Structure 1
Amino acid sequence: MGSSLGATIRRLREERGWSQARLARETCRAAGVHGEPIGRQEISRYENGRRTPREWLPFIADALTVPVEALRTSSAPPEPPPPTLADYLPEGAPLAPLSAAQGRRVGSAAVADLQQRVHGLRLADDVIAGGDLLRPALRELRSAVKLFREGSHTEAIGRSLLQAIGELAQIAGWIASDAGQHGGAERIYRLGLSAAHTAGDATLAGNLLGSLAYQRTNTGDVREGLAMARAGLENAPEAPPRARALSFDRVAWAHTKAGEAQPAMRALNEADEALARLGDEEEPAYLYWVDAGELRVMEARVYTELRRPLRAVPLLRDVLSRYDATHTRELALYLSWLAVALADANEPEEAAITAERVISLSSDITSERTAERARVVLARLAAFQDVPEVRALLDSAT
């Protein structure tokens, strides 16, 4: 009954447009208890069938304003179980150790050095595009895998190496995707999934699967991208706030690309709620860039994609007014969304000025992402080719 019950609770919650945190609060209110003896994570466990509400079931029913029996019995046909992270692991054992007993002894110093190089590569990606970073990123990844497979190390050191390989695979996959090497990026992401999964790092595994989901969504396989994004989210229910916020953002984007506005809005709200829980807890270094500004960028992108420019334009202008100009690729990308939103707002002259900046920035960096966004912007402006500023831009771009 657990999975059917959980699916019914989720369906009724989503029909009301509630987040899991909202249902938890309403359930506590229905029970007449103060504080939150159950919270979002507990609701998530109920919905995924990992735990049965039992004594909380009547109060959940009260909160949802349905009879208890409506939760226990569902007339809807049972849905197939959603995919999990394990469904996306690579075939075989790509990280199986080789002749470890004869290899170089690997200690904590080697792990610290690898972690430092991984973070250096991550910071380099902030200012250097994928086409220029791909070769050094792949060299680092091959070297790290070789160190793990051929070296001799303790179990603890091996786990740290696997985590470093997972982090390295995430940034290397991102770089490969930015360079337009989508097939290679997917193989790299799956290698990282294997490393993170073997190391027992659910947060890292969820981040890797979310990165792969984002690529799938953007390259046209939207339903599979959404399934991956949800699996990445569900894989790490105890992940720290920034990781949860990022996962919800990826779910929101997949729903947006599928044309599902309400689920996208709910996921954006969940991302905000997750980040609001940020305290002084220790978080992985690779989440350093996830902040309120980045959530606003995703919110603006969602509004742009859904053709709601009056919501998108102010958000993008606010973010861009404070953005680091040395991050050329991201600056070009964010400007591209602004150009499209301005076109949708029937401001073709301003859209053309913004688009000109996008094209100028894109011409100097080896990023397929920005090149593709420039093409999208030009295609959108083609509807205004009778406007002199737009006509001049389109002529200069051909």
Structure 2
Amino acid sequence: MGDAKRKRFGAYLAQLRRDAGKSQRQLAEALCRASGTASVTRNEVSRWERGERVPDGWLPALSTALSVSLRTLERGAAHARGTDTGTDRPSPAEALAYFLPDRVDPGPLASNAGRRVGASTAAALTDRAHGLRLADDFIAGGDLLVPALRELDGAVRLYRESTHSEETGRSLLSSIGEIAQIAGWIASDAGEHDQAERAYRLGISAAREAEDLALVGNLAGSLAYQLSNTGREDAGLGLARAALDEAGSSAPAKARALYLDRVAWAHTKAGEAGPAMRALGEAHEAMVAEDSQEAPDWAYWVSPEELDVMDARVYTELRRPLRAVPLLQEVLSRYDSTHTRELALYLSWLAVALVDANEPEEAAQAARRMLDLTADFASDRTAKRARIVLSKLEPYRDIPEVREVLDGHAA
């Protein structure tokens, strides 16, 4: 997890540098002037931005050079080093400012209306898409939905109201597709499923026009996942399989593993255990297959550990707790505690699996941790999972540990 934290902080520094209108070399020169030495090179700045190093001693100078508060940089550096305690979770506004500094409102992006835009503008929009994805790791859908929809609206207006080359146009369309995917995911987490479906379908249209088949698969698979989870299991299964087929066998390995995981979940929700298990196996095979293609940025979170989580969720849904519990316990033992929603969701699956394994006391312990994490977290996903967990515990109310959880979280 440490490498991922440093990379997130590095991506944040790179975005701040670009917002300040500086190249890596110009930033290095500014830091040298501020310190009165010549000890910072462009290569060193590049290492920071790739997440290979954390620029601890240079935070005050970076604060000045990039016009960002020192406290914000110190918080991010502490998180990147893994020395933050996790007890002082930043507010949604602070977290959003971290990943989408300044220009949260898309107005400046649309200010290019009627003017020709080029590769640098397309790259800036790509950065915004990635920043929004990173923000979703830490902020609940209910708190992030309005900024996400503003980002999507700004991206669409930028494309429609500017002129650009064919290559730049494709890049802008791909970014619109990426922003639409994460906006749809955020809307779904906020319980706004109609809004999510509209965002996904807009993104599919943009990605197809950009001829970005891997992104089409991600968008269609995301919509399929929502359909499967909202009582439209047959439609979800059909779309999940279509997403896999449209992306094709040449899709990057991580992307194909993700599509197969969604197929496995769709089969599970449709009550088809055999096909679900086969799809899980194929997902793991895809993950370890030799791959000549670089994984797309939006697949940064796909990993063997995440596949293990989906395995465990499928096993739990199929009432196979002896398989689910060890997997979830292993993943949770090393999971990044700052990712509140995902941690809570994984704990909810563990609690359900433990009930099915006839271990209600341990289930109550996992449930209490999950419920405490999400007491003030504006996520429809975690709220629904909380209700499922409490209903699973109800038959064991006569056990003191269970009764304490049920009475303490009755609302």
TM-score range, shorter chain: 0.7 to 0.9
Contact persistence 2:184–2:199 (CA under 8 A) = yes
* Residue from 192, 215, 222 that aligns with 1:181: 192
Query: What does residue range 234-273 of structure 1 map to in structure 2 within 5 Å?
Result: 234-237=245-248, 238-273=250-285
Contact persistence 1:125–1:133 (CA under 8 A) = yes
Structure-2 residue corresponding to 1:314: 326
Q: Does 1:356 align with 2:368?
A: yes
C-alpha distance in structure 2 between counterparts of 1:328 and 1:362, whole Å: 8
The one-character-per-residue Cα deviations of 1:136-177 (angstroms, maximum 9, x if unpaired) are: 111111000001111111111111100000001001100110
Structure-1 residue corresponding to 2:335: 323
Structure-1 residue corresponding to 2:295: 283
C-alpha distance in structure 2 between counterparts of 1:215 and 1:285, whole Å: 22
C-alpha distance in structure 1 between counterparts of 2:194 and 2:247, whole Å: 26
Identity %: 66
Shift of residue 216, structure 1, vs aligned partner: 0.4
Shift of residue 281, structure 1, vs aligned partner: 2.9
The one-character-per-residue Cα deviations of 1:74-95 (angstroms, maximum 9, x if unpaired) are: xxxxxxxxxxxxxxxxxxxxxx
Structure-2 residue corresponding to 1:142: 153
Shift of residue 362, structure 1, vs aligned partner: 1.3
Shift of residue 112, structure 1, vs aligned partner: 0.7
Q: Which amino acid aligns with 2:320?
A: R
Q: Which amino acid aligns with 1:264?
A: A
Q: Does 1:159 align with 2:170?
A: yes
Q: Does 1:211 align with 2:222?
A: yes
Contact persistence 2:360–2:393 (CA under 8 A) = yes
Structure-2 residue corresponding to 1:300: 312
Could you tell me the TM-score, scaled by structure 2's length? 0.71
Structure-2 residue corresponding to 1:80: none
Q: Which runs of 5+ in 2 are unaligned?
A: 1-112
Structure-1 residue corresponding to 2:392: 380
Contact persistence 1:217–1:257 (CA under 8 A) = yes
Structure-2 residue corresponding to 1:93: none
Contact persistence 2:237–2:263 (CA under 8 A) = yes
Structure-2 residue corresponding to 1:97: none
Q: Which amino acid aligns with 1:167?
A: E
Structure-2 residue corresponding to 1:397: 409
C-alpha distance in structure 2 between counterparts of 1:119 and 1:134, whole Å: 16
C-alpha distance in structure 2 between counterparts of 1:104 and 1:214, whole Å: 39
Shift of residue 384, structure 1, vs aligned partner: 1.0
C-alpha distance in structure 1 between counterparts of 2:148 and 2:290, whole Å: 31
Contact persistence 1:242–1:278 (CA under 8 A) = no
Structure-2 residue corresponding to 1:233: 244
Q: Which runs of 5+ in 1 are unaligned?
A: 1-101
The one-character-per-residue Cα deviations of 1:22-79 (angstroms, maximum 9, x if unpaired) are: xxxxxxxxxxxxxxxxxxxxxxxxxxxxxxxxxxxxxxxxxxxxxxxxxxxxxxxxxx
Q: Does 1:120 align with 2:131?
A: yes
Q: Which amino acid aligns with 2:360?
A: P
Q: CA RMSD in A?
A: 1.2
Structure-1 residue corresponding to 2:144: 133
Q: Which structure is richer in relative contact order (CA contacts within 8 A, separation 6 or more)? A: 1
* Residue from 160, 182, 185 that aligns with 1:171: 182
Q: Which amino acid aligns with 1:328?
A: T
Q: Which amino acid aligns with 1:114?
A: L
Could you tell me the TM-score, scaled by structure 1's length? 0.74
Contact persistence 1:332–1:361 (CA under 8 A) = yes
* Residue from 212, 219, 223 that aligns with 2:234: 223
Contact persistence 1:166–1:192 (CA under 8 A) = yes
The one-character-per-residue Cα deviations of 1:233-276 (angstroms, maximum 9, x if unpaired) are: 00011211001100000000011111111100000011011001
C-alpha distance in structure 2 between counterparts of 1:196 and 1:281, whole Å: 18
Structure-2 residue corresponding to 1:76: none
Count of paired positions: 298
C-alpha distance in structure 1 between counterparts of 2:118 and 2:394, whole Å: 59
- Secondary structure (helix, strand or coil) at the match of 1:200 reads coil
The one-character-per-residue Cα deviations of 1:342-379 (angstroms, maximum 9, x if unpaired) are: 00000001101110111111113111101110000001
Structure-2 residue corresponding to 1:88: none
Contact persistence 2:126–2:175 (CA under 8 A) = yes
C-alpha distance in structure 2 between counterparts of 1:283 and 1:311, whole Å: 30
Q: Which amino acid aligns with 1:126?
A: D
Contact persistence 2:252–2:291 (CA under 8 A) = no
C-alpha distance in structure 1 between counterparts of 2:361 and 2:402, whole Å: 7
Shift of residue 127, structure 1, vs aligned partner: 1.0
Q: Which amino acid aligns with 1:113?
A: A
